[in-house]
Amino acid sequence: MKESEYKFYDDLPLFLNADTVGKVLGVLPASTYELMHEPDFPMLRVGSRMVVPKEQFIQWVNEHTGGGV
């Protein structure tokens, strides 16, 4: 697993794209896209783009790890 380049939630943009989600979680792009298609993952479609609202992402991380990034 790669180390995240983000150290604080405040460093994240308001909406995260797949690249940012992968960097935060320290996973490869294929794993990121697989995760973003999971039913409980807070992904939104904006046209053909997939984005994740920052606050919902933080909540999802907390629910699935019992803590933070």
pLDDT band at 4 (very low <50, low <70, confident <90, very high): confident
The 10 Å CB-count burial string (b at 16+, else e) for 34-64 is ebbeeeebbbeeeeeebbbebeebbebbeee
Interval 8-34: pLDDT, tens = 999 999 999 999 999 999 899 999 999
How does residue 1 score in pLDDT terms, banded at 50, 70 and 90?
low
- Residue 66: the pLDDT is 79
Cα distances (Å, whole numbers) of residue 27 to 1, 46, 47, 48 = 6, 23, 25, 22
Do 20 and 32 touch, CB atoms closer than 8 A? Answer: no
The string of pLDDT tens digits covering residues 51-67 is: 999 999 999 999 988 76
Residues 6+ apart with CB under 8 A from 51: 15, 16, 17, 43, 44
pLDDT at 69: 52
Domains and CATH numbers, the chain: 9-64 (1.10.10)
pTM of the model: 0.84
